[in-house]
Amino acid sequence: MDIVNKYFKENHKNITFLELKDSALVKIKNFTINKDLPLPIITDNLIEEIYQGNLENEINLSQIIDGIIYLLGVDSDFPNLDRYVEILNSYNPNINAYIYNVAIKKISEGDIEFGGIFLRALIYLDSKNLNVRFNYALVLEEMGRKYIESNDEKGEEFLTASTNELESIVEMDEKYSLAYYKLGFHHKYFEQYIKAKLTWNKFLTVDKDENRLQEIREEIDLIDDNVKFETGLTYLTYNEFGKALDSFLKLLPRYGDEWNVLYLLAMCYKGLSESDKAIEYLHKAIEINDEEPDLYNELGIINFLDGKIIEAIGIFNEGIEKTDHDYKLYFNRGLGYIQLGEYNLALKDVKMAYELNPKDENVVNQLKELEDLMSSI
């Protein structure tokens, strides 16, 4: 069970179930409640008058109705829900409107959880009502926001559930503009900038409110650089070095002093076999941040692949001096020593790499090969 459903299901404790006496008879219009069906009542709304006198004379039908709605909202797997639904419909043919009004009123009063429970009940009764689902998504979003502000790990779970709800809405109705509006902000929060832009672009085609449209145009402009960055990373992941380079070069005028942008440009040039350019950008990146081990690793590897073993080892040495125990630097320096026939130094470095990261299979295999080699000499 996911965290959100588990959270709401825990509210089951707020329900008291009453059992009718054998002689008791409760009729709601044409529907008779049998004594074998326990009646749920929200505990806070109950208590003292229910247990005073004869039970059948003390039952407040509106309390039972609210209890049934509450039960639907917290536990959609509870037995006999179809019978409870029949009670609701017998009590009020417009029960859905009642539930919605109570939910919105509770939310407006600040009781987000109670309002959310009633909305969940209404989704159970009418899963295709997109306005209900949208308001429920807003409830989840607000609960997620409060948890995130208090550094509670449940926050992102609730926000993800809200995102899923919004995505379900646009799957059912691709013109439901407010869902796109909210979804864009969710994608932005989760740093999914390409999805945010695509979602907001869709919003621009279906919404009519000029204030919202202008707001989202401004939001798209704000994330433009993030979109370029994420686009470049995506291309780089799939070894589309030329396309990745195009994206990162667009960032260079504004972010030329950011070491990570320079590093990514170097990776593109490396992938395009333009070693001189890659080395140039790696040196620039090191000037900005001389404590990032990946910069030394990549610079050393380029020299290593160009056959400049001594230069590569020197770069790995510098990286080891400047950074904090990066196993790849030791491992790569060890590979350099192997090329020079310095097997004792190589074994020492590879052992250090293994101590720092015993789960890397390349390190494990290289250590075994070196130990076998040394034992045979």
| 3 state SS for 7-74 | HHHHHHHHEEEECCCCCCCEEECCEEECCCCCEEEEHHHCCHHHHCCCHHHHCCHHHHHHHHHHHHHH
Q: Which DSSP symbol is given to 324?
A: S
Q: Is 250 helix (H, G, I), strand (E, B) or coil?
A: coil
pTM of the model: 0.87
288-305: b (≥16 Cβ within 10 Å) or e: beeebbbbbbbbbbbbbe
The pair of structure tokens assigned to 1 is 């069970």
Can you tell me the mean pLDDT for 183-207? 98
| Residue 94 pLDDT exceeds 90 | yes
Give residue-wise pLDDT tens across range 315-340: 999 999 999 889 999 999 999 999 99
CATH 3.40.50.1980 assigned to 230-376: no
Sequence-distant (6+) residues with CB within 8 A of 108 are none
The pair of structure tokens assigned to 314 is 């020197």
d(CA 266, CA 280): 8
Q: What are the angstrom distances between the C-alpha of 350 and each of 284, 310, 354, 369?
A: 29, 18, 6, 11
Can you tell me the mean pLDDT for 124-129? 95
- Residue by residue, DSSP assigns 260-301 as HHHHHHHHHHHHTT-HHHHHHHHHHHHHH-TT-HHHHHHHHH
d(CA 309, CA 300): 9
Give the closest residue to 75 by CA, choosing from 113, 124, 115, 42: 124
| Residue 55 pLDDT exceeds 50 | no
Give residue-wise pLDDT tens across range 133-178: 999 999 999 999 999 999 998 999 999 999 999 999 999 999 999 9
